[in-house]
Amino acid sequence: YQKQLKYTIWLSLLFMAMQSFAWWWLFSHNIGLGTSTTTGYLYLISFVHLAHVVAGLPFLILFYHAAKKRMVDPVTVLVYFSDPEKRLKLRLLTIYWHFLDALWIYLVLFFGINYLV
Long-range contacts of 20-28 (CB under 8 A, 24+ apart): 22/46
Of the candidates 73, 52, 50, 98, which has an alpha carbon nearest to the alpha carbon of residue 2?
73
Q: What pLDDT does 116 receive?
A: 62
Cα–Cα distance for residue pair 50/30, rounded to 1 Å: 22
- Look up the pTM and report it: 0.77
Residue type, 30: N
Summarised one tens digit per residue, pLDDT across range 30-88 is 888 888 887 888 888 889 989 999 999 999 999 899 888 887 788 888 887 888 998 89
Band of residue 117 on the pLDDT scale cut at 50, 70, 90: low
